[in-house]
Amino acid sequence: MTKTRSAFSAEGKYFITETFTDSFPDRVGIRQEFTYEDDDGGERSATSLINDARGILNWLYENT
């Protein structure tokens, strides 16, 4: 899922694009990837793995 939104800073208005990707690896669990980019060239990314029962149940609750 990709979201684009605007925000404000001391320098004015700018746009942010956030991408969330969930995948299901061969092992039990859910891999989540997040990327952030703004129109000023800033970017960051993070990856996490949900492999505990409570985390998977929470993911199912939030995404169904």
SS3 of 56, please? helix
The C-alpha atoms of residue 8 and residue 14 are separated, in whole angstroms, by 6
Q: Tell me, what's the pLDDT at 27?
A: 87
Quote the pLDDT of residue 64.
87
Q: What pTM does this model have?
A: 0.71
Distance (Å, rounded) from C-alpha 54 to C-alpha 2? 26
Averages of pLDDT over runs of 10 residues in the chain (64 residues) are 89 91 92 93 94 95 91
